[in-house]
Amino acid sequence: MSQLPTRSSSSIKLISIDIDGTLLPSAGTIISERNRRALRQAESAGIEIVIATGRRYAYAAPLIHPVGLKLETVLITSNGTVTRTLAGERIERALMPVERARELCGALRQFGGTTVFTFDRDGCGELVIESLKQLHARIALWVEANRSWIEEVRPLERAFDADEAPVQGMICGTLDEMDRAQAWLENSPFAERIEMHQTRYPVRDLSVLDILPPGWSKGVALEKLARRRGLLREEIMAIGDNYNDTEMLKSAGHPVLMGNASQELLASGRAWGWRIAPANDEDGVAQVIEDVLCNQLNVSVVE
C-alpha cells in the first residue's frame, strides 16, 4: 500500500472512524449521545468525519443518519470496496471479476457453507447465500438483521448467471476455522487474485473473513479519498478496534486503537506506537475527538 505525502507539522483535518466495536457500544445499535455530540462538533469545527466499516452501505447508513452529520459525509463500506456519501451518492467502487467469484464458490464450500457475496445494488439479492440455515447457525443475529436483503441461490454459482460482479465475498466460522481458511487461500491459486481481511471476535470464538478484489482495504479507500481532498498523512486520524482496521490505521498519521481491541492487537498497536483510546463502552471515540478539539482548536465540547 502506498503512503500519502507528509510534512513536519499538520493539524488533523479528517478523522476516519470504524463502526462496530468503535462507534457502537458492545451491546445495541445506537451510537451514544456523547459520541454523536463529538462527531457533530468536530464537523462544525471544520474536521471532516469519515465512516469506514466492514458493513455494506445499506447496513451502515441507518446507524449514521441519526447522528446528524451532513449528507455529504463519506462512508467507506464493505471494507473499502464501496465509497458513498451518506446521501447515497457513489464515489468509488471496486468489483471482483465474475469468473473469480464463480470459482470461489466451489473452493469455499469446504469451509462450512457460510459463503456470502455482496452486490452493490438495492433490495433483496444484495446479499446472496447458498444456505440460510447453515449461515443462521453461525451468525444468527446478522442473518435476522439482514434477512430482507438476502437471497438463497443453489448452487451459489448461479448468482453470477447475469454476469453481475460482486464487491465482496465473505465466510465465517470459529477463529481456528478462519485461520485455516485464510492459510489455505494464501497457498492457493487465488492468493494473487484476492485481498483478505479478518474481523475477529475472540470472546465469541467467531471470525469473519472478507474476500475482496486485490489491493483493496479500508486503508486504500481512505488514501484515495485523502488524495482527492489534497490531504497529507499527518492531517488524518483513524480510529478502529479490529484487524480489518489495521490498514486504515497504518495509512493515517494519527492511528488510534480502541481499548476494547483484542489483547493480541493491543500488544501490536503499542509496539507500533499507536495511541490506545478508552474502550467503546466508555465513549472512547468521543474522548479522542474531544482531545483533538481541545488541543488543536481550543474548543470545549458542550455537555
Q: pLDDT at position 8, please?
A: 41
Please report, rounded to a whole number, the percentage of residues in the chain having pLDDT higher than 70: 95
Q: Tell me the three-class secondary structure of 153-181, residue by residue.
A: CCCHHHHHCCCCCCCEEEEEECHHHHHHH
Confidence of residue 174 (pLDDT cuts 50, 70, 90): very high
Dihedral-angle region of residue 129 (phi above 0 means left; psi in -120 to 50 means alpha; beta otherwise) = beta
> What CATH code is assigned to 98-212?
3.30.1240.10
Residues in contact with 141: Cβ distance below 8 Å, sequence separation at least 6, in sequence order: none
pTM: 0.94
Q: What is the pLDDT of residue 299?
A: 64
Average pLDDT over the chain reads 94
Q: Which residue has the higher pLDDT, 153 or 138?
A: 153
- What is the per-residue pLDDT for 303? 53
Q: What does the H/E/C string look like for 29-71?
A: CCCCHHHHHHHHHHHHCCCEEEEECCCCHHHHHHHHHHHCCCC
pLDDT at position 215 over 90? yes
Cα angle: 129, vertex 132, 136; to 5 degrees: 120
Q: Is the pLDDT of residue 106 over 50?
A: yes
Q: Is 215 left (phi over 0), alpha (psi -120 to 50) or beta?
A: left
CATH 3.40.50.2000 fits 14-93+216-297, yes or no: no
Among 98-112, 131-145, 169-183, 231-245, the minimum mean pLDDT is found in 131-145
C-alpha closest to that of 196 among 180, 207, 185: 185
**Helix (H) or strand (E) run with residue 73 in it:** none
Using the predicted structure, report yes or no on whether residue 6 has a pLDDT greater than 70: no
Quick check: 10 pLDDT over 80?
Answer: no
pLDDT at position 38 over 60: yes
pLDDT class for 302, splitting at 50, 70, 90? low
Q: Residue 219: in which H helix or E strand, if any?
A: helix 218-229
CA 48 to centroid of chain Cα atoms = 18
Q: What is the DSSP letter of 22?
A: I
Sketch the domain layout of the chain as residue ranges: 14-93+216-297, 98-212
Contact 83, 60 (CB under 8 A): no
pLDDT at 113: 84
> Are 14-93+216-297 and 98-212 in the same CATH fold?
no
Q: Tell me, what DSSP letter sits at residue 242?
A: S
Question: What percent of the chain clears pLDDT 90, i.e. is strictly above it?
Answer: 90
Residue 261 has pLDDT above 60, yes or no: yes
Nearest to 168 by CA among 116, 207, 125: 116
How many Å from the N-terminal Cα to the C-terminal Cα in the chain?
40
Instruction: Name the more confident of 298 and 299.
Output: 298
